Copies of this chain bind each other. A is one copy, B any other.
Amino acid sequence: MSSSGGVVRRSLLDDLASSMLSLIADRNLAAGDPFESVRSLAERFKVAVPTIREALRRLEATGAVELRHGSGVYVGRHIGRLVLANPLAPTPSADRLVELLQARALIEPPVAALAAQNRTDAALERMDQHLAEAADLIESGDHARLAEVNMDFHRSLAQASGNATLAEVVESVTVVNVREQLEILHIHGDRQADLDEHRAILEAVRAADAELAERLTREHLDGVLTVINDRARPPLS
């Protein structure tokens, strides 16, 4: 049984989707570049417009392309990625959010250690910028934007590891509902402490101290996790 072996009859849509991806690759297009109009694509592949649109929707769902009304079809931000956050995922339950944080607490510390070993000047600068922006946002009180920038820090930390796959994984587990994570932060409350912890992690990475970076990242995420758990199951008395 199962799908192993045998000739997989590729559907027309499969062909269209992969052909368009090849087209993008052949032209060396990068994220954000304009691709080609729907009508032009339909003509190129000798299919009707609705058909090419179905294939485009499929690509769109994985972030490979982007359709902008009135403007055109563009290369998407997630072109070429192996691991993705489900763009259609519903708002996760409280349990799921705890799971998500547990996953992060498990994955990100060793990633931070790797980042401490492989970090480049460019990566350090990117993290510096995120922390500077975060400091500004604490001043201005824009908590929604702050939550996003804090996630950006975690992502750039993962990027600093030099492993794109790990960066994608971390991206995927951090992208889920910043709104919910904002609520968490709001409860956690101590935004300044968060910033300080991020700064400490960055310094460990800058100093190429893998062990310290790992420990600080673990403590940081475990701290958040503790707060969440306390809220979920408030003390009995």
Copies of this chain, count: 2
| A82 engages B176 (CB within 8 Å) | yes
- Is A4 touching B148 in the complex (CB atoms < 8 A)? yes
Q: A100-B165, A103-B166, A164-B96 are in contact. Are A83 and B172 (CB under 8 A)?
A: yes
Once the chains are docked, how many angstroms separate the CA of A110 from the CA of B83?
Answer: 20
What residue in chain B is nearest A113 (Cβ atoms)? B106
* Across-interface contacts of A78 in B (CB, < 8 A): 86
- Would A21 and B88 be within 8 Å (CB), given that A62-B61, A83-B173 are in contact? yes
A102 / chain B contacts, CB cutoff of 8 Å: 163, 165-166
Question: A57 contacts the other chain (Cβ, under 8 Å)?
Answer: yes
Instruction: Give 7 closest A-B pairs by Cβ, nearest first.
Output: A61-B61, A50-B50, A57-B57, A103-B165, A58-B61, A99-B165, A54-B57
Interface centre among A5, A58, A172 (most CB of B within 10 A): A58
Q: A224 near B: Cβ within 8 Å?
A: no
Q: How far in angstroms is the closest Cβ of chain B from A217? A: 13
Task: Indicate the member of A59, A86, A102 with the most B CB atoms within 10 Å.
Answer: A86
* Residues of B contacting A106 in the complex (Cβ-Cβ under 8 angstroms): 107, 110-111, 114, 166
How far, in angstroms, from A9 to B164 measured CA to CA in the complex? 32
Q: Could you tell me which A residues sit within 8 Å of B by CB distance?
A: 2, 4-5, 11, 13, 17-18, 21, 25, 50, 53-55, 57-62, 64, 69, 78, 80-90, 92, 96, 99-100, 102-103, 106-107, 110-111, 114, 144-145, 148, 163-166, 169, 172-173, 176
CB-based contact B172/A58 at 8 Å: no
By the criterion CB–CB under 8 Å, are B62 and A88 in contact?
yes
Using CB atoms, name the residue of chain B closest to A3: B148
Q: A81 with B89: in contact, given A57-B54, A61-B62, A164-B99 (CB under 8 Å)?
A: yes
